[in-house]
């Protein structure tokens, strides 16, 4: 039976742990120069409606290291939902390829790819969520803390797709999760509600980043205006200014807090140079781990463990 990874909740907690363990193994072998051609002869179709250096490089390099081949398809190559239906693309690529990764705007497109493809589909990002990023994030937290017990994560900024995936993760891994954001920029209320209803984690919305940050293990932020919101950037900058992650906020959090950002960062806006380049920042470990975790997800979905 084919498996997709469209939301973090597509995996059980045990499966998440298995993927994290596999990520650690593949990372160790990569660092040691040990080959692991687990997907030799396989092809990955990468569909990009939204550009991303990190997503392309991490998936393409990762597939190469696994012995497979990745195909990059830009919006000029494929007009998903316009020139051709998503269902037809899913059916066609299932005849050519072994796995699909798509980075799209409309979340329905990734759901349709998963529904109609006969091969595994990985969500490389939609406007609704970003599960590969947050799986990489929690792997990075595990590396640095050594465990995931008594975890407090404070997401500072817009209740966006990355925030939604953190809430989804809180449905699988117990934590205290707080999003600190301006009024009107909260995450999807249904995502918050379903996370609360699982009863596994303590999740809440705060409008004061300093009180929320106290005692946090992770202070996480993202850009204030995501791709497609460029026209709102100037107005959002005024609204989000009190939610900048700076030295004062990290001091309020405490010395135990790690700073994380999914990148690219708009330095001087959502985060200052002092923080992103500081001793508490683990953003480049986090960025590297995208590749190792995505490799593990591909191997896991392909049953090549």
Catalytic residues: 262
Residues in a beta bridge with 69: 43
What residues have CB less than 8 Å from 190, skipping those under 6 apart?
A: none
Element (H, E) at 276: helix 273-276
Place of tokens 């995501």: 226
Q: Are 270 and 240 in contact (CB under 8 A)?
A: yes
The token pair at 173 is 């891994």
Burial class for 44, CB neighbours closer than 10 Å (0-12, 13-18, 19+): buried
The token pair at 239 is 């609204």
- Please list the alpha-helical segments (H only) found in 97-226: 107-116, 131-145, 161-169, 189-198, 209-213
Q: Are 282 and 260 in contact (CB under 8 A)?
A: yes
Pairing of strands 99-103, 152-156: unpaired
Whether the bond between 264 and the residue before it is cis, its omega within 30 degrees of 0, is: yes
The token pair at 276 is 């992103």
């Amino acid at each position: 039976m084919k498996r997709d990874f469209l939301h973090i909740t597509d995996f059980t907690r045990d499966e998440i742990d298995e993927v994290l363990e596999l990520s650690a193994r593949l990372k160790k072998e990569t660092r040691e120069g040990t080959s692991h051609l687990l997907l030799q002869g396989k092809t990955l179709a990468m569909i990009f409606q939204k550009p991303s250096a990190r997503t392309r490089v991490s998936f393409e390099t990762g597939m190469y290291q696994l012995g497979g081949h990745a195909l990059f398809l830009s919006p000029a190559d494929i007009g998903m939902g316009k020139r051709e239906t998503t269902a037809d693309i899913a059916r066609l690529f299932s005849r050519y390829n072994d796995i699909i990764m798509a980075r799209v705007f409309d979340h329905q497109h990734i759901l349709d790819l998963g529904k109609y493809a006969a091969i595994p589909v990985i969500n490389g990002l939609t406007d609704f969520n970003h599960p590969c990023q947050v799986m990489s994030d929690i792997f990075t937290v595990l590396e640095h803390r050594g465990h995931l017990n008594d975890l407090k994560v404070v997401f500072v900024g817009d209740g966006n797709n990355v925030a939604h995936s953190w809430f989804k993760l809180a449905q699988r891994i117990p934590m205290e999760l707080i999003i600190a954001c301006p009024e009107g920029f909260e995450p999807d209320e249904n995502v918050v509600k379903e996370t609360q209803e699982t009863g596994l984690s303590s999740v809440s919305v705060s409008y004061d980043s300093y009180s929320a940050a106290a005692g946090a293990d992770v202070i996480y932020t993202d850009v204030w205006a995501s791709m497609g919101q460029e026209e709102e950037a100037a107005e959002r900058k005024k609204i989000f200014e009190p939610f900048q992650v700076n030295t004062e906020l990290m001091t309020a959090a405490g010395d135990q807090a790690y700073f994380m950002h999914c990148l690219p960062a708009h330095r001087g806006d959502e985060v200052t140079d002092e923080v992103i380049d500081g001793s508490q920042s683990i953003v480049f470990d986090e960025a590297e781990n995208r590749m190792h975790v995505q490799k593990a997800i591909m191997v896991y979905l392909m049953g090549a463990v």
